[in-house]
């Protein structure tokens, strides 16, 4: 590779936009233009709704939808991921801002900007440390339990908005709830449920009707995704025309500043930075995990690749951009990304176009946002959130893997009853415990040969040939300090049941590593076996495992034991003193 090509490769690796711009076509631009307009239509109501969900002024959601996606477009490896405010991050922000030690300091806007900055810095540090693989430490059941729990919290927070009620403070007093519910606002309820009906119509029946007409899928997507904006427009017109805030005490968004805020770092406050750091860590972790998961969905559909570590850089830069431009923390949004993808987006140019449209909206149309009723925004959030509640996954996970099922349920209940951070921490801990339990008690099979073949299978599952003086053991896990004692006890237990055994063959087909502690125990086991007139052998060991063993004295200590290339070779040499059939157990 020439120095010039190497430089271009490095540049494209850091700025993926350079790579796809080189081959960008007019046809792709037309697709991106259409998708960008559709995504922008969705960004306006979602940006306002998620800011209010987080307990912040609406403009923080709008600002977070402008500069952050631009930064992601330059650094991100996903062609269609839509970065901006998201519901899960919003409820995590709300959790942080309402924490007693944070709320007592006041100025929630400053706290939100610090969360954005710290989340961005944490992601960049993770990228520097090459921690893109961290996504693998949160299992799918834990993430599902967390998402379901957070979604239920969001639903609980939005139902009062839909009924025109204040946040309840009844605790477990049933009688209190009776009088609380009687204070609902009928006009707010009418607006909220009308908005819900309209949104449901756009997301289901309308799509079915449009498909019957034979319209192109991209056109159907464009029409159906106008539902949230149309709902907001109709609700706002009704509120303004009938003067509902004054006449019927309807809660509205209120004044939204016009124009784009000046870029600044006035949010620096050392004490708050220290207190908000744990919350920022969780927001960064969840934002990254969910964003990569969403990006992989659309990338797999088109045969594209996502670079996890580069995603850390892109999302970190996007969150820092949110901080300096007055926005809340951001991540990849599932619904927006799927809309962007379905509308035909071919690259991040679609999000650059969407950000441009939103900039114009913030500069010229902010006064129109003032009379948006909060009940309509609550309806938009509910329609977006309800599909994230996946309680039906729990029985399926439980039946397949009890440990994963316990982790999923514990995460869900932890989020609901203890808090978002506590819930996901509990889930991760339980997942690691479950993994360690499985690793410490690996599956070990006593195997025999299937008659007429060279295949060796578990004697409890198949009718196989065995030999009274020969014990064949297959360990289905790498041998480490965590499981070596279990393996040793298993071997000793089998030898007690087979007193005629003279040769033990450990089949290493599933073993990719043996750590120092395990090697020491194997050496001691070999000495014990030799003292009992038994010989230990190895078969089918992988190259890297043998390379490590050859750096020690273990192979020489094994003698007269041997290392066999195939288990069949071991049986031919060691099993020639007779054989018998062992029936399936």
267-301 per-position pLDDT tens digit? 676 778 889 999 999 999 989 988 988 888 888 88
Mean pLDDT on 300-311? 87
72 with 157, same domain?
yes
Q: How confident is the model at residue 522 (pLDDT cuts 50, 70, 90)?
A: very high
**CA neighbor of 328 nearest in space, from 515, 519, 89:** 89
Helices (H), ranges, 64-185: 67-75, 87-97, 100-103, 108-128, 140-163, 174-181
Q: What is the pLDDT of residues 27-54, one digit of tens each?
A: 999 989 988 988 888 888 889 999 999 9
228 with 299, same domain?
yes
Q: Is 136 exposed, middle or buried (0-12, 13-18, 19+ CB in 10 A)?
A: exposed
DSSP output for 314-350: HHHHHHHHHHHTT----EE-HHHHHHHHHTT--STHH
53 with 117, same domain?
yes
Mean pLDDT on 176-195? 84
Rounded to the nearest angstrom, the gap between the alpha carbon of residue 44 and the centroid of all alpha carbons in its chain is 25
**CA neighbor of 310 nearest in space, from 15, 68, 70:** 15
Tell whether 404 is covered by a domain: no
pLDDT at residue 230 tops 80: yes
What is the rounded CA–CA span in Å between residue 566 and residue 585? 25
What's the confidence (pLDDT) of residue 581? 37
365 with 464, same domain?
no
What's the count of helices (H) and strands (E) in the chain, helices before strands? 28, 10
Tell whether 407 is covered by a domain: no
3-state secondary structure at position 371: coil
Record the tokens describing residue 12, joined without a space: 């494209």
Mean pLDDT on 311-338? 92
Mean pLDDT on 358-378? 89
* Host domain of residue 571: 444-582
What's the confidence (pLDDT) of residue 516? 94
Tell whether 209 is covered by a domain: yes
Q: How confident is the model at residue 7 (pLDDT cuts 50, 70, 90)?
A: low
pLDDT at residue 221 tops 90: no
Q: Average the pLDDT over each of 185-199, 418-432, 443-457, 549-563 and give the range with the smallest value.
A: 418-432
| Partners of 504 in the β-ladder | 471, 536
343 with 490, same domain?
no
3-state secondary structure at position 418: coil
Asked which of 345, 364, 390 is the last residue of a domain, the reply is: 390
Are 458 and 445 spatial neighbours (Cβ–Cβ below 8 Å)?
Answer: yes
Tell whether 286 is covered by a domain: yes
What's the confidence (pLDDT) of residue 563? 93
What is the rounded CA–CA span in Å between residue 267 and residue 319? 14
- The domain total for the chain is 2
Are 362 and 260 spatial neighbours (Cβ–Cβ below 8 Å)?
Answer: yes
286 with 373, same domain?
yes
pLDDT at residue 583 tops 50: no
Mean pLDDT on 215-224? 81
Q: How far is CA 524 from CA 177, 247, 514, in A?
A: 68, 86, 15
What's the confidence (pLDDT) of residue 584? 39
Q: What is the pLDDT of residues 55-111, one digit of tens each?
A: 999 999 999 999 999 999 999 999 999 999 998 899 999 999 999 999 998 889 999
pLDDT at residue 145 tops 80: yes
Angle at 146 between CA 144 and CA 151, to 5 degrees: 95
3-state secondary structure at position 540: coil
Q: How confident is the model at residue 172 (pLDDT cuts 50, 70, 90)?
A: low
| Partners of 83 in the β-ladder | 332
234 with 380, same domain?
yes
Mean pLDDT on 524-537? 93
| Partners of 331 in the β-ladder | 84
Mean pLDDT on 378-392? 88
What's the confidence (pLDDT) of residue 544? 93
What's the confidence (pLDDT) of residue 268? 74
Rounded to the nearest angstrom, the gap between the alpha carbon of residue 528 and the centroid of all alpha carbons in its chain is 48
464 with 351, same domain?
no
252 with 104, same domain?
yes
| Partners of 472 in the β-ladder | 505
Mean pLDDT on 531-537? 93
What's the confidence (pLDDT) of residue 569? 92
Q: Which distant-in-sequence residues (6+ apart) come within 8 Å of 457 by Cβ?
A: 445, 447, 448, 450, 464
Instruction: Output 183 or 45, whichever has higher pLDDT.
Output: 45
pTM score? 0.80
Record the tokens describing residue 546, joined without a space: 């043998």
Helices (H), ranges, 185-266: 186-203, 205-213, 217-224, 227-241, 244-248
Tell whether 128 is covered by a domain: yes
Mean pLDDT on 553-580? 84
What's the confidence (pLDDT) of residue 64? 94
What's the confidence (pLDDT) of residue 171? 67
The alpha carbon dihedral of 173, 178, 183, 186 has a sign of positive
What's the confidence (pLDDT) of residue 254? 85
Asked which of 390, 416, 432 is the last residue of a domain, the reply is: 390
Are 17 and 73 spatial neighbours (Cβ–Cβ below 8 Å)?
Answer: yes
What's the confidence (pLDDT) of residue 18? 87
In our burial notation (b when 16+ CB lie closer than 10 A, e otherwise), range 180-215 reads beeeebebbeebbebbbebbeebbeebbeebeeeee
What is the rounded CA–CA span in Å between residue 571 and residue 33? 68
Tell whether 172 is covered by a domain: yes
What's the confidence (pLDDT) of residue 289? 87
Tell whether 2 is covered by a domain: no
Q: What is the pLDDT of residues 247-260, one digit of tens each?
A: 888 989 888 888 87
122 with 260, same domain?
yes
What's the confidence (pLDDT) of residue 184? 81
Record the tokens describing residue 326, joined without a space: 């007055």
101 with 166, same domain?
yes
483 with 384, same domain?
no
Tell whether 188 is covered by a domain: yes
Instruction: Output 219 or 393, whichever has higher pLDDT.
Output: 393
- Output the domain CATH number for residue 456: 3.30.750.24
Angle at 26 between CA 20 and CA 30, to 5 degrees: 100
Are 399 and 141 spatial neighbours (Cβ–Cβ below 8 Å)?
Answer: no
What's the confidence (pLDDT) of residue 579? 45
Q: What is the mean pLDDT of the chain?
A: 88
Record the tokens describing residue 134, joined without a space: 């961290």
Mean pLDDT on 472-488? 93
């Amino acid at each position: 590779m020439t120095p010039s090509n190497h430089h271009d490769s490095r540049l494209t690796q850091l700025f993926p936009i350079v790579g796809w711009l080189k081959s960008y076509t007019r046809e792709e631009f037309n697709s991106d233009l259409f998708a960008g307009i559709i995504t922008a239509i969705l960004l306006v109501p979602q940006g306002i709704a998620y800011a209010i969900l987080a307990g912040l002024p609406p403009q923080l959601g709008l600002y977070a939808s402008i500069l952050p996606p631009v930064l992601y477009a330059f650094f991100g490896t996903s062609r269609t991921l839509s970065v901006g405010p998201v519901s899960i991050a919003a409820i995590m922000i709300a959790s942080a801002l309402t924490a007693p030690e944070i709320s007592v300091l006041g100025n929630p806007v400053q706290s939100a900007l610090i969360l954005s900055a710290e989340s961005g810095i944490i992601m960049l540090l993770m990228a520097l440390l090459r921690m893109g693989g961290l996504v693998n430490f949160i299992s799918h059941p834990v993430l599902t339990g967390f998402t379901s729990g957070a979604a239920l919290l969001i639903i609980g927070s939005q139902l009062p908005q839909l009924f025109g009620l204040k946040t309840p403070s009844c605790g477990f007093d049933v009688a209190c709830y009776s009088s609380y519910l009687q204070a609902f606002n009928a006009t707010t309820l009418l607006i909220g449920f009308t908005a819900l009906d309209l949104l449901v119509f756009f997301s289901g029946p309308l799509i079915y009707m449009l498909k019957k007409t034979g319209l192109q899928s991209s056109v159907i997507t464009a029409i159906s995704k106008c539902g949230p904006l149309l709902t907001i427009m109709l609700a706002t017109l009704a509120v303004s025309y009938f003067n509902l805030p004054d006449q019927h005490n309807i809660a509205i968004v209120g004044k939204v500043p016009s124009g784009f805020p000046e870029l600044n770092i006035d949010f620096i406050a050392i004490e708050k930075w220290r207190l908000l750091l744990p919350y920022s860590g969780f927001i960064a972790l969840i934002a990254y995990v969910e964003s990569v998961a969403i990006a992989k969905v659309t990338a797999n559909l088109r045969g594209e690749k996502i670079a996890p570590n580069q995603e850390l850089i892109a999302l970190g830069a996007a969150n820092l951009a949110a901080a300096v431009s007055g926005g809340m923390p951001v991540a990849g949004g599932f619904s927006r990304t799927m809309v962007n993808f379905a509308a035909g987006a071919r690259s991040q140019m679609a999000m650059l176009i969407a950000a441009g449209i939103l900039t114009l909206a913030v500069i010229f149309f902010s006064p129109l946002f003032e009379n948006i009723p909060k009940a309509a925004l609550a309806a938009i959030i509910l329609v977006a959130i309800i599909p994230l509640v996946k309680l039906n996954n729990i029985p399926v996970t439980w039946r397949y893997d009890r440990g994963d099922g316990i982790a999923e349920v514990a995460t869900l209940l932890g989020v609901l009853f203890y808090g978002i951070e506590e819930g996901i921490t509990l889930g991760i801990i339980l997942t690691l415990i479950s993994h360690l339990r499985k690793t410490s008690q690996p599956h070990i099979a006593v195997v025999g040969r299937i008659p007429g073949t060279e295949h060796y299978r578990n004697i409890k599952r198949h009718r196989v040939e065995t030999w009274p003086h020969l014990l064949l053991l297959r360990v289905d896990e790498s041998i480490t300090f965590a499981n070596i004692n279990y393996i040793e006890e298993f071997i000793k237990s089998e030898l007690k049941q087979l007193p005629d055994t003279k040769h033990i063959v450990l089949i290493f087909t599933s073993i990719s590593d043996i750590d120092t502690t395990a090697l020491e125990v194997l050496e001691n086991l070999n000495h014990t076996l030799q003292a009992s007139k038994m010989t230990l052998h190895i078969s089918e060991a992988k190259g890297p495992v043998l390379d490590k063993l050859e750096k020690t004295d273990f192979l020489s200590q094994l003698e007269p034991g041997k290392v066999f290339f195939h288990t069949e070779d071991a049986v031919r040499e060691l099993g020639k003193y007779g054989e018998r059939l062992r029936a399936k157990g």
